[in-house]
């Protein structure tokens, strides 16, 4: 849980800094960004499952 809170805090700080400097946010649109991160995580989980299921 600590990692999640630190990640959220870091993201908030970066967001504030970018807006203060009037720069575009370094992130894709909200839903696309969330789905991309979820896809990366899901790909890792599926890979681990395949390796454990078929190669153990």
pLDDT 10s digits, 8-49: 899 899 989 999 999 998 777 788 888 988 999 999 999 999
pLDDT confidence of residue 6: 92
* ∠ Cα 27 42 35 (to 5°): 30
Higher per-residue pLDDT: 1 or 23: 23
pLDDT confidence of residue 10: 92
Phi/psi for 23 (5° steps) reads -100, 155
Residue 20 contacts by C-beta under 8 Å, 6 or more apart in sequence? Answer: none
């Amino acid at each position: 849980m600590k990692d999640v809170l630190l990640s959220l805090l870091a993201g908030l700080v970066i967001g504030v800094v970018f807006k203060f400097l009037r720069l575009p946010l370094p992130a894709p649109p909200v839903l696309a960004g969330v789905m991309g991160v979820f896809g990366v995580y899901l790909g890792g989980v599926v890979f681990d499952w395949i390796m454990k299921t078929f190669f153990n």
